[in-house]
A and B are shown apart, each in its own frame.
Chain A
Amino acid sequence: MLPLLFVVIPLGAALVIFLLSRVWERAGDLFANLATLSLFVISLTLVGPILRGDTFAYNLGATSPLGIHFTIDGLSLLMLITINLLCFMSSLYSVNYMERYTAKPRYYILLMLMIMGMNVVVLGADLVNLYIGVEIAAIACYALIAFGVEHEYLEASFKYQIMGTVATLCILLGIALIYRTAGTLNIVELYDAVAAAGGMGNPILVFSSVLFLGGFGLKAAYIPFHAWLPDAHSTAPTPVSAILSGVFIKVVGLYCMIKVFFSIIGLTPAFSMVLMVLGAISIIVAVLLALAQWDSKRLLAYSSIEQMGFILLGIGIGTPLGILGALFHLINHATFKSLLFLDAGSVETATGTRDLKELGGLNQRMPVTGVTTAIASFSISGFPPFNGFWSKLIIIIALVQAIGIGYPGFAPAYITFAVIALVGSILTMAVFLKLERHIFFGSLPEKLAKVREVPWLMCAPMIILAAVCIGVGIAFPWVIGNLLDPAVGVLSVFGLGG
């Protein structure tokens, strides 16, 4: 029953908000936060059982291929905790932030549907559920991006609708081809069925994996496929941007990609190389593009592409240490990038602008926002002891270690990628120095002299996320032992040396 709760609670909350909002305007504030909080608490209670080696499974309907299968293992639990923590923070932030838009209950309904879609992706044990989850989350997300119904919102949303639909159609075609060849869609059965059908010797399977790479690559916004991300993430309402950059692109893009390339097809040298090259290109190109931005949320959006590059680089190595670094960076990026988006939203709320050239000296006027942004900037630039330092360090160590134990003949590539990762982290520091310098330091412009700190309900999620950044950084052995090791165990059997 337990896995079903992650679908039923947000869906039920959406219904309750829809019904009650007609008689009570603030029903959304209460029920959305209750739902996300309870989801987060439920996901935390599962840490102990998963660590003991239990798995949770639930079959809705028949056990035939037509039933709906949900499972929770170490990897999906890690994603569930991340999703539901960030969604709780965002819905808490929305209470005051979304006052500027009309039809707030509808916003909460769409948000609940998006959370439900992401949970279905993570829980789903076959490709049909995966696809349905991706589609639900994506449709809710298109509507949320367009929520402001002004020129920019509509344009960004339409761009993403076109690209996202082409991506989901590629994924669907890939699923059709894999079903034709292997005869099943259950992820556990697919691994053997794909191997029996000839694996990468079978041209149809090669074609379907290329379709998956394109489809999920578009969803995860790696560099040749990134055109929609800066528009969508910078124009969406801030709590939605935080969810989009923090978990959405990871769940519907990266997590699905990992599922397909590890648990279904199995990592081959060719895919390992493709993933690492995509990651390295994303790191270098996106960080340079981020440096050139003067809109704070746009800068953060480009920086998201760069950090996703780090995660893909780690996953592509395929060694247990590489996967550990990638998954660790995934949860770290989720916390500090959402925090940065919430901070940018607070600055926008207080001053009415996102243009870095018009801001400055806000540290005196907005202490909470200033301090939390500084913590997040330290984390993302990789200063010890903040959490971003450890995960980047693990990824670089894994690259160096792979020279010895990785695929033979890849040694020059591993060295190149390690250098790119180092250069990328240094350039990240430059990006965030620019952000800090132009928003929080320097002289305070005349017209900002009366700026005041945002309400406490917007400060609270920022403080909690900053505490998570520091806490995970200091207690990283505990996080690795209790949360990450079970997740790495799920993947490393399919990776290099498994």
Chain B
Amino acid sequence: MIATYTLCAILFLVGLYGVVRRKNLIKVIIGIAIMVQSVGLVFVVLGYSEGGVGGISQTMGLVALIGGLAVMTLMIATSIRLHQKYGTSDISEIRRLKG
């Protein structure tokens, strides 16, 4: 049980590392995807530890995945447009707003 939670925590942190440190738009989105999956996994573990199918954790797991899917679709669409406008996928070069 502890091992699975540790796995979730490691996945979450790996995703967060990708979001914070990577410069490529797509790699940032992959980081987000890993984080979404890790939270989904937390709900799977929660449902398992209740001894059977937990109603709420099942619902919440689905909600987490659907929410993540919606956000990621939007992110990928935005990143395509960003690449068209700026001609690069490097986040450090997409910097018009400052101050």
A contact set with B: CB distance below 8 Å: 64-66, 128, 131-132, 135, 138-139, 142-143, 146, 149-152, 154-158, 161-162, 165-166, 168-169, 172-173, 175-176, 179-180, 185, 230-231, 234-235, 292-293, 295, 298
Contact = CB atoms under 8 A, between A and B. Distances in A.
B74 A175 contact: no
A138 to B, nearest CB: 8
Contacts of A151: 85-86, 96
A495 B63 CA distance: 32
A150 B97 CA distance: 12
A146 B16 CA distance: 24
B56 A128 contact: yes
Given A151-B96, A172-B64, A162 B85 contact: no
Contact of A176 (B35, B60, B67, B71): B60
A293 B99 contact: yes
Given A149-B81, A151-B85, A158-B78, A179 B57 contact: yes
Q: A-B pairs with the 9 shortest C-beta distances?
A: A231-B97, A135-B67, A176-B42, A154-B82, A158-B78, A165-B71, A151-B85, A169-B35, A172-B39
Contacts of B71: 135, 138-139, 142, 161, 165, 168
B70 A152 contact: no
Given A132-B67, A161-B74, 11 more contacts: A65-B56, A138-B71, A142-B71, A149-B81, A150-B85, A154-B82, A154-B85, A165-B32, A165-B68, A173-B39, A185-B56
Given A154-B82, A155-B96, A142 B74 contact: yes
Interface of B: 12, 16, 19, 25, 28, 32, 35-36, 39, 42-43, 46, 49, 55-57, 59-60, 63-64, 67-68, 70-71, 74-75, 78-79, 81-82, 85-86, 94-97, 99
Nearest to A173: B39
Contacts, number: 105
Contacts of A157: 78
Please classify the interface of chain A as helix (H, G, I), strand (E, B), loop, or mixed, using the class held by over half of its residues. helix
A154 B39 contact: no
B97 A155 contact: yes
A295 B98 CA distance: 11
A128 B75 contact: no
Contact of B99 (A65, A128, A235, A298): A298
Contact of B74 (A139, A150, A234): A139
Contacts of B32: 162, 165-166
A176 B39 contact: yes
A176 B75 CA distance: 25
Given A176-B42, A298-B99, A158 B75 contact: yes
Given A176-B60, A180-B46, A235 B97 contact: yes
B43 to A, nearest CB: 6
B35 to A, nearest CB: 5
Given A185-B56, A298-B99, A173 B42 contact: yes
A286 to B, nearest CB: 13
A169 B33 CA distance: 11
A169 B39 contact: yes
A172 B35 CA distance: 11
26 contacts: A132-B67, A135-B67, A139-B70, A139-B74, A143-B74, A151-B86, A152-B97, A155-B82, A157-B78, A158-B25, A161-B71, A161-B78, A162-B32, A165-B32, A165-B35, A166-B35, A168-B67, A169-B68, A172-B39, A173-B39, A179-B56, A179-B57, A180-B46, A231-B97, A235-B97, A298-B99
B94 to A, nearest CB: 5
Contacts of B68: 165, 169
Contacts of B78: 142, 146, 154, 157-158, 161
Nearest to B81: A154
Nearest to B49: A180
Which of A66, A132, A179 has its CB near the most chain B CB atoms (within 10 A)? A179
A225 to B, nearest CB: 14
B73 to A, nearest CB: 9
B20 to A, nearest CB: 9
Contacts of B60: 128, 172, 175-176, 179
Which of A151, A156, A176 has its CB near the most chain B CB atoms (within 10 A)? A176
Contact of A169 (B36, B46, B82, B97): B36
A162 B25 CA distance: 10
A172 B71 CA distance: 14
Contact of A128 (B16, B46, B59, B70): B59
